[in-house]
Amino acid sequence: MSTRVGVPRSSDRHVEVWFGAHVIAAFTGSTEDAAPYEAGMELRFPGLPITNKPVPAVVDSGTADS
């Protein structure tokens, strides 16, 4: 699994592990890295809900219409 710093890409995924209404673990990365992370969290936290969603598009406020 590689580590990247910067703005998420539109192809990235956001994985969260939920305990009730609280996120107890989160990961944002490539589709290739998110899948094994999700699988590992399913083993570590059996029975807890895990979401794996696309990262929302980032809007650059410097280029937005006024």
- The reply to whether the predicted model has a pTM over 0.75 is no
- Return the percent helix, strand and coil in the chain, to nearest 5: 20, 30, 50
Q: Is it the case that residue 50 has pLDDT exceeding 80? A: yes
Query: Average pLDDT for residues 54-60, to the nearest whole number?
Result: 77
Query: Average pLDDT for residues 38-46, to the nearest whole number?
Result: 98
The bridge status of strand 13-19 relative to strand 50-54 is: antiparallel
> What pLDDT is recorded for position 57?
72
pLDDT tens digits along 6-39: 666 767 999 999 999 999 999 999 999 999 999 9
